[in-house]
Amino acid sequence: MKSDIDYRNKLVLAPMVRVGTLPMRLLALEYGADLVYTEEIIDWKLLRAERHTNEVLGTIDYIDTTDGTVVFRTCPDERGKVVLQIGTASAERAVAVGQMMQNDVAAIDVNMGCPKDFSIKGGMGVALLYDLPRAKAILEGLVQGVRIPVTCKIRVMPDLDETVALAKELQSTGIRAIGVHGRTKTERPRDPVNEDAIARVANALHIPVIANGGSQSITRRHDILRFAQRCSTTSVMVARAAEWNCSVFRADGPLPLDDVIRRYLELSVRYDNSPSNTKYCVQMMLRSLQESPIGRRLLDSQTMQQICDIWDMGEYCRETQLRYHFAGIKGRRACRPRTQSGDGSPVAEGNEPSASKKQCLEESPDSDPEPLNEENVCFIRSNFSDDNSLPKSKLYLHAVRNGLPRAQYEVQQKDKLFRATIRFDGQRYTSSFWEKNKRYAEQAAALVCLLKRGVESRDELIRNGAMLPAKNGPAAAVVEQTGSSKTDAAGESETNGEARPMVESC
C-alpha cells in the first residue's frame, strides 16, 4: 500500500547542499516547518552505502562503505516529514535508491533544477529539463517502483510556455507535487525571482506546486505566506532565508541569531554531526559577521569542542561526546578501511552487515623485527600555531638534538584512508587513527612517536582533543559517577581536517 503526503499548505525547508543535514532539518521542524528536504545526495553515493542502526544516537545511518562517511542520517523526530532529494541521471539507479530508502524517508524528490557544472555534466539537475524522455523515465520508474510519494524540483525555462508544457509532461508521470524555482538555469540568487512564471505553472497544473526562490523578500513567516500568494501557490520551500536564520518559520517571529546558533549546536552535538558540516552551517548563519571577532574564532576552529566553546557550550559538548564514547559509539576514531579480497573486492564474511564488521582492516602478521608502538592519536591542525610547532618538525629537532638519524615515514593507503608508520631509533610508531590524507597521517604518527618518547604529554594530547581518555581513567570515573565530565578532551566525532567529511560510524 502506498503512503501519502498532502503537499498543500506546507512550509518546507528547501534542499540545500551541506545545509540540509539532520540538525538543520530538526531545527526547521522545531521552528514550524511542515516538511524538510535533505541536501541533494547523488544516487551512486547512496547505492554504495550500507544501512546501520546507531543504537547510541537512536538514528538510522547510511554509511559509505569506502571510507565510513555518513551519507545520510535520520531519526524518529523527523519520521513522516523528511524528503530525500536525489541527484540522478538513471531510472535504474533512481529506483534502486528509492527501494533501498523508502522505509526511512517520507518521500523522494528528484533534483531537476541544480545549475552546477557537476550536475549538468553528469546529466543530472537542470540537464534533465532538456532531456524530457530521460526525466520522465526516472519519475515513472520511481512512481511505479516505490511505495512513497515522488516529486521533482525544477527551474523555469526562458520561455514560459515551454515551462508550462514541461511541467505538464512531468505531472503526467504520476508525481504528487512539483517544486518550481523562479529563476532560469543561468540566473543566480542576486537576480529577481520570476513569481509570475511560478504562478503560470501553478495555475496550469492539478498537482500542488511548491514555490521556491523568494528568500530576498523573506525575513519572517508572514513573508513566506505573502510569497506563496504572489505565486498562486499554497506551499513554499525556503532555502537561503532559512539557512541564514532557521527560525524564519516561527509563527511568533524569528529569534535572535545567537539563540538559533546555540540550539543548532545543541542538536549537532546531540546527533554527532561532523564539525566541518557544523562549522559551514554556522558560517552561513553569520554571513557578514564572519569578519567579527566571533566569526574569526569560528573560522580558526576545527573541532566541535572549539566551535561550541565560542557560544559557551563547551561543557555540554565534552560531556555528551565522552558519554557517547564510553557508550561504545562507532565513530571516526574507530574507522578502518574495508577488508579487501585478493582482487580488490569486498570480502563477504558470514551474514553480518559490513557497516559493523568489514570496516576493520585485516593485517598480515607483523614479522618486522623493530617493535611497533601504537596509540589512537589524531592530528588536529589548529592545535599548532605555526609550522615549527608541527609534530614532524618537533620530531626532526628531537633527532638533531640527540644525534639520532632522521625519522623514516612509510604511508599506507586503503580505500580513501591513510595511515603512516615511522621508523626511528630502532622502533616503529603508528596511530590506529586512519587519516583522510597523507600529510595528516604522517603528523599523527609523529605525535605517537613524540608521546612514546616523552616529548609530548598524554594529558596535553587529551586536553587538546588529539586523544581520548581511557575508559577506566579519571574522566571515565567522573562520567560513571555523575553523568558528566570535566575533561577537555575532544569527543569521538571530531574531524581533524579542514572541511573534510565526517566518518561517523564504521
Active site residues: 114
Q: What is the DSSP letter of 346?
A: B
In the chain, the N- to C-terminal Cα span, in Å, equals 34
What cell numbers appear for 159 in the block? 520561455
Give CA 207 to chain center in angstroms.
32
Give the residue among 309, 333, 460, 300 at the shortest CA–CA distance from 391: 460
CA atoms within a 13 Å half-sphere pointing along the CA-CB vector of 352: 10
Run of H or E residues at 281: helix 275-286
> 289, exposed or middle or buried, with CB in 10 Å at 0-12, 13-18, 19+?
middle
Name the residue type at position 229: Q
Run of H or E residues at 109: strand 107-112
- Phi/psi region, residue 375 (left: phi>0; alpha: psi -120 to 50; beta: rest), is beta
Alpha-carbon span 186 to 175, nearest angstrom: 26
* Phi and psi, residue 42, nearest 5°: -70, 140
Run of H or E residues at 429: strand 427-431
* Phi and psi, residue 264, nearest 5°: -65, -45
Angle at 150 between CA 88 and CA 106, to 5 degrees: 105
Encode 320-347: b = buried (16+ Cβ within 10 Å), e = exposed.
bbbbbbbeebbbbbbbbbbbeeeeeeee
CB–CB of 98/145 below 8 Å? yes
Which residues contact residue 348 at a Cβ distance below 8 angstroms, ignoring those fewer than 6 apart? none
Alpha-carbon span 505 to 272, nearest angstrom: 10
